[in-house]
Every structure is written in C-alpha cells, then in structure tokens.
C-alpha cells in the first residue's frame, strides 16, 4: 500500500479558492497523509497560505501543513507567522529558506533553512518537514555537502524529508541510499510532478536544477502542441509508471506536486487507492460522484 501527500498553492482569486477547498474535500476521500500549502502573501500583506490552511482545516480532518519561507522576512515576522499557525491548531510546518535577494539583506532574518528549523524547534512543538534534493541543490558544491547540510537540518529539528520532484528514479534511489549512508533516519517522501504542460515543466526544471530525460522529450514531442488531453494522459501515465517502479524498490511514500490540477491528481491516486468516506467536518456525501460529473 502506498501513501500520498498533496501539495497545493493558494489562489489569489476567490472563486479559485472555493474550487481548491472543494478539491481538498474530494481528495480527502483518498486519505492523504497531509495536504501542504505553499507560501504566499498578497500585495497588501495578507497571508494567503494561512487563509487557505484555515479554510481547508475547517472542512476536513486531513492534516494541513503550511510552507514557511524565511528569506524575505525578519526573524520577528517569522515567529509571528508561526504563532498564527499554532493559534489555529496547525501542528506541522514545512521549513524552507526560499528565494531572497539583496533587497532583504538588511533584515535581521534567518540565514538558511537550518537556522530557521532550529528556531522553530526551540520555540514550538511543530512537526517540521524539510526539503531534500535527489539531483543536488542548485547551490550545493557537492553531493557530500548536500548530505551534510541535510543531516544538520535534521539535527536542528527536521522530522521528515520531502524531495524535490524528479523524473529519473535512479536519482531518487541513489539519494535514498546516500541519506541512509549518512545516518539520517528520517522518513522520505518522493516528490512526483505529474506533467500537464511540458514546456512549463522545462522552465521549472531550469530554475530548480532538475533534469528532463531525453525519453520524456521524445514522448511529448510526438504529441501535437494543442492536444491537451493527449498531453495530460501521457503525463498521467508517466507519473503512474514512475510510482509503480519506485514501489518495486520499496518506496511507499509519495508527495504529489499537484499545481492545483484536480482531475489529473485524482486519476493518478485513484489508480492506487480507492476512495473511502472520511469523517469530514461538513456533510460532503456524494461529493466525489458529483465531482466526477463536473470534471
């Protein structure tokens, strides 16, 4: 049996927020381990992540885990944010550095994810999730340095590792072996990105340093550019095959980067797990059936 966690981003438009909350209710039928919400503030300083986390948490019993990125905020602001999450009953967070630049260098801020993780561990009782990079962090000088830093984050208080998405399973399996070899005994969730827009994924890959196998290039190049259904069906098939092959290697914990795509995410999980009626905080009987009709 495989376990899944799901990652969403907080929409800025109210109708999209409503759609995401309904999507979360549907996906709760599949008993995901948790739903993580990426970090987002709007232009007037409202914490969109807090807003979505609170709304989803009020509707379902699935654990909701907000991302916290420290690069653009002061230490005071990050602790205040953590208090906000704690006050609404959030028990876990994803602690990340995030992207920053010289604009934020004058802030009294946490320098990296390790320092931020230590601060959270000292001040709160959160379960803390951290990022791992099967192909190496883009800024890392070596694989060994990457592993040493990951171990330092775990010593600082990280309880679980979520990996960056990857397409070559061998990269993940080698990474898992290296994690074990360095004495890091934390659970690892393998990051899977189902593809529905190959050109966009290639842009993502350049930013995060992920590799696109030539075999994927060839598969997607054989489909017409405007054949959206064909592209999504291929992306679904690739993700399912990737998970199936990792299962054979003893991997049973997967983190899906959903990009808020309802049908694609649901179809992939449905291949492995059948929905059951969760104990939601609102009556959503028949929601799955209605969602199928609407998709």
How many structural domains comprise the chain?
1
140 or 115: whose pLDDT is higher? 115
What band does 225 get if pLDDT is binned at 50, 70 and 90?
confident
pLDDT of residue 102: 62
pLDDT of residue 96: 97
14 is catalytic: no
**Mean pLDDT computed over 36-40:** 96
* Alpha-carbon gap, residue 285 to 27, rounded angstroms: 13
* Alpha-carbon gap, residue 288 to 278, rounded angstroms: 11
Q: Please, which contacts does 230-235 make with residues 24 or more away whose CB atoms are closer than 8 Å? A: 231/195, 231/196, 231/197, 231/198, 232/196, 232/264, 234/195, 235/194, 235/195, 235/196, 235/198, 235/264
294 or 45: whose pLDDT is higher? 45
**Mean pLDDT computed over 128-156:** 95
pLDDT of residue 104: 72
- DSSP secondary structure code for residue 47 in this structure: B
Q: pLDDT of 5-29, one tens digit each? A: 999 999 988 999 999 999 999 999 9
**Mean pLDDT computed over 121-136:** 97
As a whole number of angstroms, the longest Cα–Cα distance in the chain is: 53
What band does 294 get if pLDDT is binned at 50, 70 and 90?
very low
What band does 284 get if pLDDT is binned at 50, 70 and 90?
very low
CATH assignment at residue 193: 3.20.20.220
What band does 41 get if pLDDT is binned at 50, 70 and 90?
confident
Tell me the percentage of the chain whose pLDDT exceeds 70: 91
- List the domain range (segments joined by +) for residue 38: 3-294
Catalytic residue among 7, 25, 115, 135: 7
Handedness of CA 99, 14, 77, 125 (dihedral sign): negative
Q: pLDDT of 189-204, one tens digit each? A: 999 999 999 999 999 9
Confidence check: pLDDT of 267 > 50: yes
**Mean pLDDT computed over 58-80:** 96
Find the range with the poorest average confidence among 70-74, 244-248, 283-287. 283-287
Handedness of CA 199, 260, 170, 128 (dihedral sign): positive
What band does 278 get if pLDDT is binned at 50, 70 and 90?
low
Find the range with the poorest average confidence among 116-130, 174-188, 221-235, 258-272. 221-235
Confidence check: pLDDT of 168 > 80: yes
What band does 255 get if pLDDT is binned at 50, 70 and 90?
very high
Confidence check: pLDDT of 279 > 70: no
DSSP track, 171-223: HHHHHHHHHHHTT----EEEEE---S-HHHHHHHHHHHT----HHHHHHHHTS
Handedness of CA 236, 242, 247, 252 (dihedral sign): negative
């Amino acid at each position: 049996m495989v376990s899944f966690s799901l990652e969403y981003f907080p929409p800025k438009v109210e109708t999209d927020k409503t759609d995401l909350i309904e999507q979360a209710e549907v996906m709760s039928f599949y008993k995901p381990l948790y739903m993580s919400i990426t970090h987002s503030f709007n232009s007037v300083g409202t914490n969109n992540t807090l807003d979505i986390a609170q709304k989803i948490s009020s509707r379902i019993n699935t654990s909701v885990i907000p991302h916290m990125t420290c690069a653009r905020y002061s230490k005071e602001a990050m602790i205040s944010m953590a208090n906000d999450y704690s006050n609404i009953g959030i028990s876990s967070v994803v602690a990340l550095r995030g992207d920053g630049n010289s604009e934020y260098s004058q802030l009294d801020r946490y320098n990296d994810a390790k320092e931020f993780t230590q601060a959270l561990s000292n001040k709160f009782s959160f379960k803390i999730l951290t990022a791992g990079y099967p192909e190496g962090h883009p800024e890392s000088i070596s694989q060994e340095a990457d592993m040493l830093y990951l171990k330092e984050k775990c010593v600082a208080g990280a309880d679980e590792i979520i990996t960056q998405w990857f397409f070559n399973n061998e990269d993940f399996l080698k990474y898992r072996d290296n994690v074990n070899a360095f004495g890091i005994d934390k659970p690892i969730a393998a990051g899977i990105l189902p593809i529905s827009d190959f050109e966009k994924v290639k842009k993502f890959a350049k930013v995060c340093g992920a590799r696109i196998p030539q075999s994927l290039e060839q598969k997607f190049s054989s489909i017409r550019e405007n054949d959206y259904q064909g592209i999504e069906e291929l992306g679904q098939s690739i993700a399912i095959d990737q998970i199936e092959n990792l299962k054979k290697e003893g991997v049973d914990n997967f983190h899906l980067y959903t990009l808020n795509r309802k049908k694609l995410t649901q179809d992939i999980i449905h291949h492995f797990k059948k929905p059951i009626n969760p104990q939601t905080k609102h009556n959503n009987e028949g929601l799955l059936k209605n969602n199928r009709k609407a998709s």
